[in-house]
Amino acid sequence: MPETEPLNSNTAKSTLPPAGMPVFGASGRKIVYDENGKPCRACNTLLDFQSIAGKKKSVSSSTFAASSGAVAGAAVSAASGFSTIPDDCPPDVEQLGRSTWTLLHSIAATYPEMPTKDQQNNLMNFMTSFSHLYPCFYCADDFRDYIKKEKINVTNRDEFGKWLCNAHNSVNVKLGKPTFDCNLWKERWKDGWKDGRCD
């Protein structure tokens, strides 16, 4: 599932920031506001959420415009000091994304090699429902757009695992992160690396 919004995209459901509220957070990412004009906790990083609450300095649109891309955002984030989320607090978009990808890849790793029609239907229904229920609404919108273009492949474990890996890579590209070699998805998520470090 998408972890954060691409730096320069617009989201249909997000609203313009209310008067006096920042456009960009301390990470350099655009702040996502919900339909009520409140910052979306599941759609923003903790650092950005704190910048809105006045606990961290936010980045003005002019400062952000002068910087470029994910590298500048990362530099701003590093300079601002990243806060970790206490275990008993709601997750931010990054923690939610990492946890979600772990769950989805683990489902792929345990999906049958030769699934029955019922198992294929169950997975298809789960993924479709998931795309409507994901807490970060703009991430969910993005995922639904992806599955419209790239049909979910539930034929068997390997096909679903590779489809999911490609979906994850599409998010990584949007975030300026490196992509993963999808030929290695089973080593990463099912069998463990051949060097034995997971044994």
Question: Domain with 142 in it: what CATH number?
Answer: 1.20.120.310
Do 46 and 126 sit in the same domain of this protein? no
Answer yes or no: is 76 within a domain. no
SS3 110: helix
For residue 15, what pLDDT is reported? Answer: 56
Q: What is the pLDDT of residue 88?
A: 87
Percent of the chain with pLDDT over 70: 77
Q: Considering the domain boundaries, does residue 132 fall inside one? A: yes
28 Cα distance to chain centroid: 16
Q: Are 5 and 171 in contact (CB under 8 A)?
A: no
> What tokens were used for 31?
């702040």
What was the pLDDT predicted at 167?
98
pLDDT at 58: 45
Of 40, 51, 48, which is closest to residue 13 (Cα–Cα)?
A: 40
Q: Are residues 109 and 159 in the same domain?
A: yes
Spans of the chain, pLDDT less than 50: 2-12, 14, 57-82
Q: Are residues 40 and 112 in the same domain?
A: no
At residue 56, the pLDDT reads 54
198 lies in a domain? no
Note whether 30 and 101 are same-domain residues. no
| Alpha carbons 12 and 52: distance in angstroms, whole number | 21
124 located within any domain:
yes
Query: What pLDDT does 139 receive?
Result: 94
Kindly state whether residue 159 falls inside one of the protein's structural domains.
yes
- My answer on whether 185 and 132 are in the same domain is yes
Task: Count structural domains, the chain.
Answer: 2
Q: With respect to residue 62, please indicate whether it lies within any of the assigned structural domains.
A: no
Q: Is residue 126 part of a domain?
A: yes
Please state, in angstroms and rounded to a whole number, the distance separating the CA atoms of residues 23 and 163.
34
Domain that holds residue 162: 93-190
Kindly state whether residue 66 falls inside one of the protein's structural domains. no
Q: CA of 189: how far to CAs of 26, 37, 126, 168, 183, in Å?
A: 33, 39, 19, 13, 12
